[in-house]
């Protein structure tokens, strides 16, 4: 009977050997599963991250900088605009002491022959005409040294321009009937 009881216990699963074997099997399976899980965690390479290993930041505590004063802009005091004082218009009715541009000259010292009126300085330039003694003209340019003479450029009352030798003209006042 005892044998039947043992077989009955074995069949019903209440035998201590059954529980011992079941416990050993459960322990072995749990350990195998744990070793497998640990092995798989160690075999996986670590995930790469975009962040660089943290570098320690050194913080140095200092006093705040001393403010530098900004320059104060210098605004000049406004001054009044000077008014132009016109220079007096020269009185061209009175002859200057020497031949001067902007004044008049008179043909003289030709013994009545007159002076050659040329289109340029120098005796080789084309002759425009011969100006008679006492002819008055406006001095517009000169003096220029050329061909051994000093030359002045004159403008006649009709607007004709030309050059004469300085030794044959003298300063003169503006004629009253000048244009």
For 48-72, what is each residue's pLDDT tens digit? 655 556 778 888 888 777 888 888 8
Q: Is the pLDDT of residue 2 over 80?
A: no
Q: Report domain extents, the chain.
A: 2-43, 104-172
Per-residue pLDDT tens digits for 6-22:
666 556 656 777 778 88
Q: What is the mean pLDDT of the chain?
A: 85
| Chain centroid to CA 43 | 67
Task: Quote the pTM value.
Answer: 0.51
Q: Which of 44-53, 152-161, 170-179 has the lowest mean pLDDT?
A: 44-53
CATH top-level class for 104-172?
mainly beta
Q: How many Å apart are CA 171 and CA 173, to the nearest integer?
A: 7
pLDDT score recorded for residue 47: 62
Q: Do residues 130 and 117 lie in contact, with contact meaning Cβ atoms separated by under 8 Å?
A: yes
pLDDT score recorded for residue 14: 62
């Amino acid at each position: 009977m005892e044998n039947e009881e043992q077989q009955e216990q074995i069949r019903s699963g209440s035998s201590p050997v059954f529980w011992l074997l079941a416990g050993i099997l459960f322990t072995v399976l749990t350990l195998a599963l744990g070793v497998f899980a640990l092995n798989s965690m160690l075999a996986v390479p670590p995930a790469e991250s975009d962040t660089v290993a943290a570098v320690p930041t050194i913080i140095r505590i200092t006093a705040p900088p001393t403010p530098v004063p900004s320059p104060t802009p210098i605004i000049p005091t406004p001054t009044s605009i000077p008014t132009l004082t016109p220079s007096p218009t020269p009185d061209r009715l009175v002859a200057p002491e020497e031949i001067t541009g902007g004044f008049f000259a008179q043909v003289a010292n030709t013994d009545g022959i007159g002076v050659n009126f040329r289109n340029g300085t120098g005796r080789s330039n084309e002759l425009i005409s011969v100006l008679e003694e006492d002819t008055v003209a406006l001095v517009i340019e000169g003096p220029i040294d050329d061909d051994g003479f000093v030359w002045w450029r004159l403008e006649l009352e009709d607007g004709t321009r030309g050059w004469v030798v300085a030794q044959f003209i003298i300063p003169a006042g503006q004629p009253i009937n000048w244009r």
